[in-house]
Amino acid sequence: MTIGVGIAGLSARGGWAAGAHLPALAAVEGIELRALTAGSAASARAAGDAYGVPAYPSVDELARDENVDLVVVAVKVPHHRELVLPALAAGVPVLTEWPLAVDLAEARELERAAGGTRTFAGLQGRSSPTFRWLADLVSRGFVGEVLSATVVASSTEWGTPVSPPQVYTLDRRLGATMLTIAFGHAIDTVSMVVGELQDVVATTATRRPRVPLAGTGQFVAMTAEDQIAVSGTLPGGAVLSAHHRGGAVTEAGFSLTVDGTEGRLEVTGAEFPHIGPVAVRGVRGRGPLAELPLPAGYDNYPQLAGTVRHTLTHAYATIRDDLRHGTSVAPDFAHAVRRHRLLDAIARSAAEGRRVLLSDPRTQTLRRPCAGAR
């Protein structure tokens, strides 16, 4: 059975869907592009001509194509809801880019709308060969009992000059911020390795309320957080601390250190570890850290290693298998809601200056942080 994919947001002019989703689909056997829609009827026709598949003026019509088994929503976050709901109403499985929604309430609405329809969330870091291996290392006791996990990351975005199409990422209300994108992806991969935060204490700030608009000499307002500091407890009592910094004037980066009773792991890599390569060093017992190579059996697409489509390719393979066999390995909308709930708990803690439990019922309904939260 070949899974037919219809992409909402595929353009002939390039972009993330064309540059990452199409090559990922092409690399995975048993799944292929069958149809598309775009921002307008004209752009859809141009993309259909470019990629040789039927083009539809709306996602409603795309979802009704009998050859489409999976609708992929690859557009800006503020437009997710208007495209996801019609696809779900047609009963077609949906894969939506992360963040799922502009806030927790909207994410929960989309989860409820799915009913029994299969859903998938674009948290492809969970398909990363390296992070799957790290999760196995920790669960098998490489470091012994986990005592702490420390994350330090930086992004060049959210402070440095921004291009006009990306200005929307500076507005906290639109749901595509450093907290939701860069931090959200990173904390999801970290959670895969060490477990879910049970509570959080957070401090956030917008240190650059005005950001240069690239090539214009003008400035635009930024309400998104560009400094995020979080601490909390993990299952078993281990402590996690994370600091994500925006607008880095030097290279962006990511690091995770896991300390345990029997050893240590250190993971370093690029700004977005869910799509970029990471290096792993570790030691059991006392002694210097040594490089730990990825064992065989984790990477089914080594030819794509080091590219932005490496983990996405693994994600599509997992989604294909879930649809074929009825398994539930790839993250779904329920998982996306869990991640939105954590981000909202962070926003609440920063706004109210207190520790927030992830079981706090208010984290189930928080619409968005108040405008004055920092």
Q: Model confidence over 71-116: pLDDT tens digits?
A: 999 999 999 999 999 999 999 999 999 999 999 999 999 999 999 9
* Predicted pLDDT at 11: 94
Rounded Cα gap, residues 97 and 81, in angstroms: 11
Query: Which percentage of the chain shows pLDDT scores above 90?
Result: 93
- Domain extent for 209: 125-290+332-374
The domain boundary, picked from 81, 98, 124, lies at 124
* Mean pLDDT across 348-373: 68
Residue 301 lies in a domain: no
**Residue 365 in this model has a pLDDT that exceeds 50:** no
Judged by phi (left if over 0) then psi (alpha if -120 to 50, else beta), residue 285 lies in left
Above 50 in pLDDT, residue 358? yes
Assess whether pLDDT exceeds 80 at residue 342. yes
Last residue of a domain, one of 74, 105, 124: 124
- Flag whether 297 is in a domain: no
For the chain, the average pLDDT equals: 95
> Which two tokens mark 160?
């440095």
Sign of CA dihedral 114, 119, 121, 125: positive
- Model confidence band, residue 39 (pLDDT cutoffs 50, 70, 90): confident
Q: What was the pLDDT predicted at 372? A: 34
Statement to judge: residues 106 and 145 lie in one domain: no
Q: What is the mean pLDDT of residues 281-308?
A: 96
pLDDT bucket at 368, cuts 50 / 70 / 90: very low
pLDDT digit string (tens) for 257-275? Answer: 999 999 999 999 987 999 9
Q: How many helices (H) and strands (E) does the chain have?
A: 10, 17
The structure tokens listed for 361 are: 């019922």
Does residue 300 form part of some domain?
Answer: no
Q: Does 373 score more than 80 pLDDT? A: no
Positive or negative, the Cα torsion across 91, 174, 169, 351?
negative
What is the pLDDT, as a whole number, of residue 260?
98
Distance CA 75, CA 80 (A): 7
Residue 357 sits at φ, ψ, to 5 deg, of -80, 140
| pTM of the model as a whole | 0.94
Residues 234 and 367 in one domain: yes
* Distance in angstroms (rounded) separating the CA atoms of residues 259 and 254: 17
Regarding whether 282 and 139 lie in a shared domain, the answer is yes
CATH of the domain at 360: 3.30.360.10
Q: Is the pLDDT of residue 361 over 70?
A: no
Residue 113 shares a structural domain with residue 73: yes
Examine the domain organization and report whether 173 and 44 are in the same domain: no
Share of the chain above pLDDT 70, in %: 96
Summarised one tens digit per residue, pLDDT across range 165-211 is 999 999 999 999 999 999 999 999 999 999 999 999 999 999 999 99
Average pLDDT (301-328) is 97
In a domain, 373, yes or no: yes
Nearest-Å Rg of the Cα atoms of the chain is 20
Q: What are phi and psi of 21, to 5 degrees?
A: -65, -45
Asked whether the beta carbons of 347 and 363 are under 8 A apart, the reply is: no
> What was the pLDDT predicted at 362?
62
Both 91 and 165 in one domain: the answer is no
H/E stretch holding 57 reads none
Alpha-helical segments (H) within 35-97: 41-51, 59-64, 80-89
Residue 260 class from Cβ within 10 Å (0-12 exposed, 13-18 middle, 19+ buried)? buried
Q: Is 60 in the same domain as 103?
A: yes
Q: Is the confidence at residue 232, as pLDDT, over 70?
A: yes
- The verdict on 39 and 116 lying in the same domain is yes
CATH of the domain at 12: 3.40.50.720
Q: Band the pLDDT of 291: cuts 50, 70, 90.
A: very high
Among the candidates 124, 143, 160, a domain finishes at 124
Cis peptide before 302 (omega within 30 of 0): no
Tokens linked to 373:
């939260």
pLDDT tens by residue, 105-163: 999 999 999 999 999 999 999 999 999 999 999 999 999 999 999 999 999 999 999 99
- Please give the pLDDT value at position 363: 56
Same structural domain, 90 and 189 = no
